[in-house]
Amino acid sequence: MRVLGSRNERVTSSPGTEMVVRVRNLGIARKSGILSADGNCVTTHASYEHWLVHRSDTGDVRHRLQAPGIVSVGRGAANALVLTHPAVSRDHAAFEWTPDPVSGGTWRITDHGSASGTRVNDVQLVAFQSRPLSPGDRVAIGPMDFHFQRPAPLESQTIIGRAQPRSTERIDALAPAALEAKHLDAVLAIGAAIHAAQDEQAIADAAIDAIARISGFAEVAFVKQVSADGALVAVASRGPRACHVRLSQSVLARARLGAVVVSDAGEAADAHHTLARLSLARVVCVPVELGNRFFGLLYLADGGAFRTPLEPVAALVRSVAAVAALALANMERLRVNAQLEAEQRAMFDGTMHALIGTIDAKDPYTRGHSARVADFAHLLATHAGMNEVDAGRARLCGLVHDIGKIGVSEEVLRKPGKLTDEEFQQIAAHPVIGHDILRGIPQMSDILCGVMHHHERFAGGGYPHGISGERIPLLGRLISIADALDAMTTNRTYRSARPMSAALEEIARCAGTHFDPELAKVIVSIDRRKLQAIVGLHVFSAPATLPPHVAMTPEASLARIHQEFTRRTA
């Protein structure tokens, strides 16, 4: 029985006889050529409606084919059915309803000369030659597979229970008004539990735990598609047969298009052949869906005596299904957003590495310099007490700090001797050039200050602005040390590499003049092996020492750095 907010007509007979309920959805009846509420027959094309179902690991996506008319399919935005896969042509194919005086009509599909082709039951279509479709056909639009299906009948017989000596009454089996007062609090509690779940499995478990506790059904399961062949299996279940829930495949198949409620299944054997074989007397099955996204089914089954009315149980299950569908859709959206962010990040990182590779290609003596400065900057930031987000900014700044050297000639970059004043001015311009290159990239806004000011000196006299002390942004002071450390420990055109110990001694000697004394204190305190591992050599010696005029306790040094960074980035 399909129930979608319908009103059910319950017709009773004499005492002790069984009561037959025929479901008439008044909104659907007016489109279906069946009797409406007043008994008048309404003739429309709804009986010719079919579904095009695309199945994936995350659920079914269903597309309605409503006669009469033409449904165009392709990647172009003007199509009635837009498929965004790059292998689908812009104007790929079309479904067209063809009337027939005998059968009423049929749907036909025509390939519009697409590049990747259209297939029906694995048979390639000839371009611009139409082919009729039958329910159950497999249709492939390029690489995307669909099933051509007819909706379940909108009217079917269901036994709800033993009749009472009354004539006729109407009930609304799945309307919110049918929720008993005791179930309202339960739905709110279920909603909180579902939305607190961290993954799809936890959502399924929370849903069936609550339903099993309240509904009184012996077996409760969350059923979904887990393979490409479309098979439905229980991914979470409760009850004495938790590992082997009695699933009626006919009920599951029918419930994909709408809720199913079956009671005293002996009378419903014609519609659901597996119920008698499974010894099931009552079944409630409700789709978990939001819009055209199908996530699975909530399935309740029982074979013994059952005194709880089905109407409020069905209403409860539908409410839980709605909450679960919303939670699953939100989780799916978060997963898609995370994937998009990861792809954008990978594209961004790839672009940055390509730019850095361009710099390395201009001067082979500095090849790998930016990557090493990034590692030194991250290590220094971490030991200075910065959190991982801020340390990540320091790494990124180190990676792109010399991007402005793209605007400096190779002759100047590779010159082995002393630079002339004019050549030095070219070199001194690279922080400004780098800043101008990166300022239009939103992801770089937090690190532009480090790119601009990594050649300033703590006592003043650096470039490009000649500022001093704490007027120099913290990232600029940090990259200055990382940059100098790598420059001293690698070979350059104008000198050979220094040992790590000698480089640290030089940083300690220049603390307070060239370098921030607090950051100098931190860099010389780091395990020498961690620093040397970045350079790739294995030279060790005694630790460097700071001159007395910049001596400070490690606690005071780290505290002041952390406070300043927090203040400047708040």
Q: How much is the pTM? A: 0.49
Measured CA to CA, the distance from residue 479 to residue 373 in angstroms comes to 7
Residues 297 and 379 in one domain: no
Measured CA to CA, the distance from residue 552 to residue 550 in angstroms comes to 6
Domain boundary, last residue among 134, 149, 164: 149
Measured CA to CA, the distance from residue 327 to residue 336 in angstroms comes to 14
**Residue 499: burial class (beta carbons within 10 Å; 0-12, 13-18, 19+):** middle
Q: Give, as one character, the DSSP assignment of residue 356.
A: H
Three-class SS state of 394: helix
For residues 37-56, average pLDDT: 54
Note the pLDDT tens digit of each residue in 236-286: 888 876 567 888 888 888 888 888 888 765 444 445 566 778 888 888 999
| Cβ neighbours for 349, distance < 8 A, ≥ 6 positions apart | none
Distance of CA 161 to the CA centre of its chain: 45
Name the pLDDT band for 223 (thresholds 50, 70, 90): very high
| Cβ neighbours for 35, distance < 8 A, ≥ 6 positions apart | 24, 29, 41
Residues 279 and 325 in one domain: yes
Residues 307 and 446 in one domain: no
Integer CA distances (angstroms), 363 to 368, 416, 490, in order? 10, 12, 13
Domains held by the chain: number: 3
pLDDT at 466 over 90: yes
Q: Is residue 354 part of a domain?
A: no
Note the pLDDT tens digit of each residue in 407-418: 888 888 878 778
Q: Is residue 35 part of a domain?
A: no
Residues 14 and 143 in one domain: yes
* Structural domain containing residue 97: 8-28+47-149
Q: To which H or E segment does residue 481 belong?
A: helix 474-489
* Domain at 142, CATH number: 2.60.200.20
Q: Which residue has the higher pLDDT, 564 or 454?
A: 454
* Domain at 236, CATH number: 3.30.450.40
> What are the structure tokens assigned to 143, written together?
């690489």
pLDDT at 443 over 90: no
pLDDT at 68 over 60: yes
Residues 372 and 312 in one domain: no
Residues 324 and 190 in one domain: yes
Residues 520 and 457 in one domain: yes
In Å, the largest CA–CA distance within the chain is: 112
What percentage of residues in the chain have a pLDDT greater than 70? 73
User: Please, are residues 450 and 397 in contact by the beta-carbon 8 Å criterion?
Assistant: yes
Note the pLDDT tens digit of each residue in 352-387: 778 777 777 776 666 788 889 999 999 999 999 999
Measured CA to CA, the distance from residue 217 to residue 316 in angstroms comes to 12
Residues 220 and 287 in one domain: yes
Residues 222 and 298 in one domain: yes
> What are the structure tokens assigned to 458, written together?
């703590």
Measured CA to CA, the distance from residue 452 to residue 439 in angstroms comes to 11
Measured CA to CA, the distance from residue 171 to residue 243 in angstroms comes to 35
Q: Is residue 1 part of a domain?
A: no
* Domain at 425, CATH number: 1.10.3210.10
Q: What is the pLDDT of residue 503?
A: 93
Q: Which of 103-107, 268-272, 304-308, 406-410 has the lowest mean pLDDT?
A: 268-272
CA atoms within 13 A of residue 159's CA, in its CB half-sphere: 18
User: Please, are residues 381 and 397 in contact by the beta-carbon 8 Å criterion?
Assistant: no
DSSP 171-208: E-TTSGGGS-HHHHHHHHHHHHHHHH-SSHHHHHHHHH
Q: To which H or E segment does residue 369 belong?
A: helix 369-383
pLDDT at 546 over 70: no
Note the pLDDT tens digit of each residue in 160-219: 333 233 222 222 333 344 445 556 666 777 777 777 778 888 888 888 888 888 787 888
Q: Is residue 436 part of a domain?
A: yes
Note the pLDDT tens digit of each residue in 515-542: 999 999 999 999 999 999 998 743 444 4
Q: What is the pLDDT of residue 350?
A: 84
Residues 533 and 395 in one domain: yes
Q: Tell me, what amino acid is at 558?
A: L
Name the pLDDT band for 32 (thresholds 50, 70, 90): very low
Q: What is the pLDDT of residue 155?
A: 37
From 445, 449, 501, select the one nearest 478 (Cα to Cα): 449
Q: Is residue 155 part of a domain?
A: no
Q: Is residue 162 part of a domain?
A: no
Q: Is residue 386 part of a domain?
A: yes
From 223, 222, 200, 225, select the one nearest 209 (Cα to Cα): 222
Residues 321 and 433 in one domain: no
Residues 520 and 407 in one domain: yes
Measured CA to CA, the distance from residue 51 to residue 229 in angstroms comes to 18
Q: Is residue 388 part of a domain?
A: yes
Name the pLDDT band for 550 (thresholds 50, 70, 90): very low
